[in-house]
Amino acid sequence: MNKTLKYLGLLVLLPLFTVALTTNLVDDADAIKAQGKPTTQFGSKTASIVCGDRLCSEIPGGREAFEAGTVPAEEEETVEEMIEETIEEEMIEETIEEEMMEETMEEVAPGSVLRLSRANVPAIIPLHQGFYNGDSVYFIVTDSSDQKHADIVTEQQGWKVELAPLLANAPEAALSPAYIFKNGVEGSGVHGFQGEVFSSTPAQEDYSALTSHVHVMWNEDATPEVLDSEDAILAAQANDMVTFTEHEVVMNMPQIVWPDGQMMVKEDKTLADDTPYGGGQILDINTDDMTVTFIAHRGWGPDGRTVYYIVTDATPSGPADMMGVTPAPTSANLIASSAAVDLFQFKNGIKGSGPLGFQPGIAASAPGDANYSPMWRIFMISWNDPENASLLETISDINALKEDGLINVNIARPMDSDHIVNCPFIDPFQ
């Protein structure tokens, strides 16, 4: 309809062009007459030189051809050619516009690919040296249930330890004791003395990155020395050389290197926005510089704010092996505990940088929230119609679409087991 109107409009305008052309000729004649120059080129005297809407000199064959009606066909078809050219140009323009629209729709079409900038970035984290059974252990400190200890370790290592109050609710079965020295031999421990002593490593079934704290104080009449195993510490206590004080503080202290083992290091060090989760979460371990470089993954907090997290351990062993992290069976004891918080991942819909190849996950809390914890209870979201999936960024989005029946939300049970992942939220740019 719009095209037809355009062409009719063009035909209506053509007579106006003719009138305008004739008017210009009259104006030219009047201009010459006004200059006081004698001329015979106006009025009836122009009858022999004007042929219709143009000068006879512009027509092949001149006035004779015009009066005989033998003007060449190509001249008579000029207007038709103009209309045809206009139609063709408009059709080409509309085709281009349609193709551009189709390309745009393909880029934003539901169920397509979501590409977040800086979806995966390197995060350099300080290492600490401790002991297990006489050998060295290298670990990181990411979270504390107590603000005082978070501040102490943050200052000591020059890298922020997040406050995670909910960790104080972790059951004893999900914790592993760690011995922290408050005096004695000076060293690299969190309080400035010898390194921490662990009661287990990932080589043991009872390993947990979540540590309960036992402060060790040398008695006044004892001669301090480095104690590098739990057995040595218990013997010193039995001999009244040291005193224990248990603190209701839980810290997240994942071990990176332990006797006869370490976390997997990714073979392909190339980091991109579409780097897959498999094959390890670590890019480099440097015990000389005392740093470890993790891959920090981008996701969303409960209100849509950007968050980054690393992955250190998980249960059961299947997901842990898939991500290339430490298996931690004791974390299953957190499945019904308030020490763990819900994290929603996607199993279909928009493809993206999430752990299963779809859009990034959404966490029920983030650092700074009273309910933040690095221990995550995983829920899986599936779209009933994946082809019409849209981007979700907040907990409110999840609740609304679940209520509308567009998505299903179920607790993840890989290998028919409780699924908990240790994903400390960090600032990779500090």
CB 75 within 8 A of CB 61: no
pLDDT at 64: 73
Helix (H, G, I), strand (E, B) or coil at 101: helix
Rg (CA), the chain: 40
Give the strand pairing for 375-383 and 341-346.
Answer: parallel
pLDDT at 125: 98
- Cα gap 181→195, rounded to integer Å: 8
CB 343 within 8 A of CB 379: yes
**DSSP H helix total and E strand total for the chain:** 8, 24
- Cα gap 341→379, rounded to integer Å: 10
Residue 192 structure tokens: 């400035």
What mean pLDDT comes out for the span 340-346?
98
**pLDDT at residue 194 greater than cutoff 50:** yes
CB 421 within 8 A of CB 314: yes
pLDDT at 14: 38
β partners of residue 243 = 217
120 contact partners, CB below 8 Å, separation of at least 6? 271, 272, 273, 275, 295, 296, 297, 298, 353
What string of DSSP letters covers 249-261?
A: EEEE--EEEETTE
Calculate the average pLDDT of the chain: 84
pLDDT at 363: 98
Helix (H, G, I), strand (E, B) or coil at 5: helix
Q: What percent of the chain has pLDDT over 90?
A: 71
DSSP code, position 364: S
Of 290, 289, 270, 288, which Cα lies nearest the Cα of 280?
270
Span of 106-120, 326-340, 354-368, 413-427 with lowest mean pLDDT: 106-120
**pLDDT at residue 397 greater than cutoff 60:** yes
Q: What is the pLDDT of residues 122-137, one digit of tens each?
A: 999 999 999 999 999 9
**pLDDT at residue 89 greater than cutoff 90:** no
- Cα gap 294→292, rounded to integer Å: 6
Residue 133 structure tokens: 């059974």
CB 415 within 8 A of CB 385: no
- Cα gap 363→357, rounded to integer Å: 17
Phi first, then psi, for residue 167 (nearest 5°) are: -60, -25
Q: What is the pLDDT of residues 259-304, one digit of tens each?
A: 999 999 999 999 998 888 889 999 999 999 999 999 999 999 999 9
What mean pLDDT comes out for the span 302-310?
97
Beta-carbon count within 10 A of 168 CB: 14
**pLDDT at residue 398 greater than cutoff 90:** yes
CB 227 within 8 A of CB 236: yes
β partners of residue 321 = none
Of 428, 368, 309, 315, which Cα lies nearest the Cα of 164?
368
Cis peptide before 329 (omega within 30 of 0): no
pLDDT at 103: 39
pLDDT at 116: 84
| Strand boundaries in 347-422, DSSP class E | 362-363, 375-383, 407-411, 420-422
- Cα gap 376→421, rounded to integer Å: 5
Of 140, 156, 149, 136, which Cα lies nearest the Cα of 213?
149
For residue 293, give the H/E element and its range. Answer: strand 291-300
Best-predicted range by mean pLDDT (11-15, 92-96, 113-117, 374-378): 374-378
